[in-house]
């Protein structure tokens, strides 16, 4: 049988998908998680706990992969942002942060994974499970338009018609707790309530002290680029706590200007549009 691989995202959907596959006795040969180096502490805890749980059920522990440079050194998304003095690309309407730090590390690992290589050598494909839920048929349809010579994607949650509640049910039934959204703690696509949650639970992440130390030890003078990211988060936190809409908008625009000046970004229309759109969507999602 050709290898069955789970692209594990670390959140509710893919956790539920794995548990569903186990309950339905579907094959799982490898579970891969790509660590950007900036996941929330709760995600890291969940991955460790869930990996131990799977191991007790007789499955291999979750394989964690990370982005590396040509010298084989790990480079996190945070390192990359600070080095380039910019925000993750999603802030400007691109998805290269996800591509470089999520998809490519998994692809590189699989390109050297023996069962996959043997499958491709026979001219066949590996099976990849993707955790899109029943409401994400459009994403599966879009993916189907791209012919992948190496993988056949399967979408178990769509096949089973599992919604969010079904996913939460199976997770609860297995006694697994603290499964939250999996995303970089400084993701520009964060919803306001997620930023408030981060602010309350992990104010330390705003400081990014380790990164600052790394920069100082390299002798560069980034005018504390880490502060730029911290500032970005703080401004967002302040914004979502502001209740007056007009003030909200003005503060948001000011924050864009501050962030741009601090990270030495060139005026960038796309960034303005994206940031403004995210502002416009913020109040409803926050409420
Ligand atoms: S979570 Fe956000 S910042 Fe992190 S890789 Fe994905 S889109 Fe980029």
- Phi/psi for 129 (5° steps) reads -85, 130
Task: Reply yes or no on whether the pLDDT at 287 is more than 60.
Answer: no
Instruction: Give, using CA atoms, the residue closest to atom 3 of ligand 1.
Output: 187
User: What does the pLDDT look like over 90-108, one tens digit per residue?
Assistant: 777 788 899 999 999 999 9
* pLDDT reported for residue 203: 67
* pLDDT reported for residue 283: 44
Query: Quick one: what percent of the chain has pLDDT higher than 90?
Result: 46
CA dist 78 → 99, 193, 205 (Å): 15, 22, 12
Per-residue pLDDT band at 254 (split at 50, 70, 90)? low
* pLDDT reported for residue 3: 97
Q: How far is the CA of 119 from the centre of ligand 1 (A)?
A: 31
* pLDDT reported for residue 236: 53
Helices vs. strands in the chain: H and E counts, helices first: 15, 5
Instruction: Give, using CA atoms, the residue closest to atom 1 of ligand 1.
Output: 183
Average per-residue pLDDT for the chain: 78
Q: How far is the CA of 78 from the centre of ligand 1 (A)?
A: 10
Q: How far is the CA of 120 from the centre of ligand 1 (A)?
A: 30
Helix axes 77-84, 209-217, angle to 10 degrees: 60
How far does Cα 114 stand from its chain's mean position?
27
Domain positions in the chain: 4-173, 192-286
Cα–Cα dist 16/183, whole Å = 17
Which protein residues touch ligand 1 with a CB less than 6 Å away?
Answer: 36, 77, 88, 90, 97-98, 101-102, 183-184, 187, 189
Per-residue pLDDT band at 141 (split at 50, 70, 90)? confident
Task: Reply yes or no on whether the pLDDT at 246 is more than 80.
Answer: no
Better-scored residue on pLDDT, 82 or 119:
119
Q: Give CATH for domain 4-173.
A: 3.40.50.620
Per-residue pLDDT band at 79 (split at 50, 70, 90)? confident
Which among 77, 93, 185, 190 is the best mutation to test ligand 1's pocket, defined by most ligand atoms within 8 Å of the CB? 77
Which among 189, 191, 232 is the best mutation to test ligand 1's pocket, defined by most ligand atoms within 8 Å of the CB? 189
* pLDDT reported for residue 78: 81
Q: What ligand 1 atom has the least distance to the C-alpha of 182?
A: 1
Task: Reply yes or no on whether the pLDDT at 74 is more than 50.
Answer: yes
Q: How far is the CA of 278 from the centre of ligand 1 (A)?
A: 15
Task: Reply yes or no on whether the pLDDT at 210 is more than 50.
Answer: no
Q: How far is the CA of 118 from the centre of ligand 1 (A)?
A: 32
Query: Quick one: what percent of the chain has pLDDT higher than 70?
Result: 68
* pLDDT reported for residue 265: 46
Task: Reply yes or no on whether the pLDDT at 48 is more than 70.
Answer: yes
Q: Which two tokens stand for residue 182?
A: 């999996």
Among 231, 232, 251, residue whose Cα is nearest residue 241 = 251
**Residue 72 DSSP label:** S
Average pLDDT on 119-132 reads: 96
Q: How far is the CA of 90 from the centre of ligand 1 (A)?
A: 7
- Containing 44, the helix (H) or strand (E) segment is helix 41-56
Cα–Cα dist 247/239, whole Å = 9
Least confident of 18-27, 131-140, 168-177: 131-140
């Amino acid at each position: 049988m050709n290898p069955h691989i789970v692209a594990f995202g670390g959140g509710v959907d893919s956790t539920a998908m794995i548990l569903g596959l186990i309950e339905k006795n579907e094959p799982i040969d490898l579970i891969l998680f790509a660590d950007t180096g900036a996941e929330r502490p709760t995600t890291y805890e969940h991955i460790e706990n869930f990996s131990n749980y799977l191991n007790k059920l007789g499955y291999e522990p979750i394989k964690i992969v990370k982005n590396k440079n040509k010298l084989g050194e790990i480079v996190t998304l945070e390192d990359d942002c600070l080095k380039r003095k910019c925000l993750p690309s999603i802030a400007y309407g691109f998805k290269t942060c996800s591509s470089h730090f999520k998809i490519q590390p998994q692809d590189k690992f699989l390109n050297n994974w023996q069962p996959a290589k043997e499958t491709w050598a026979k001219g066949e494909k590996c099976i990849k499970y993707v955790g899109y839920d029943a409401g994400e048929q459009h994403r599966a349809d879009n993916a189907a338009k791209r012919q992948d010579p190496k993988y056949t994607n399967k979408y178990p949650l769509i096949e089973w018609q599992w919604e969010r509640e079904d996913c939460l049910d199976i997770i609860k039934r297995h006694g697994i707790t603290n499964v939250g959204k999996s995303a970089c703690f400084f993701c520009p696509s964060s919803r306001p309530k997620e930023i408030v949650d981060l602010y309350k639970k992990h104010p330390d992440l705003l400081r990014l002290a380790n990164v600052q130390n790394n920069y100082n030890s390299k002798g560069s003078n980034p005018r504390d680029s880490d502060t730029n990211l911290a500032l970005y988060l703080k401004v967002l936190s302040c914004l979502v706590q502001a209740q007056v809409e007009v003030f909200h908008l003005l503060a948001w625009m000011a924050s864009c200007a501050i962030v741009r000046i601090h990270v030495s970004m060139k005026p960038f229309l796309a960034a303005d549009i994206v940031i403004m759109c995210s502002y416009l969507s913020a109040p409803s999602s926050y409420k």
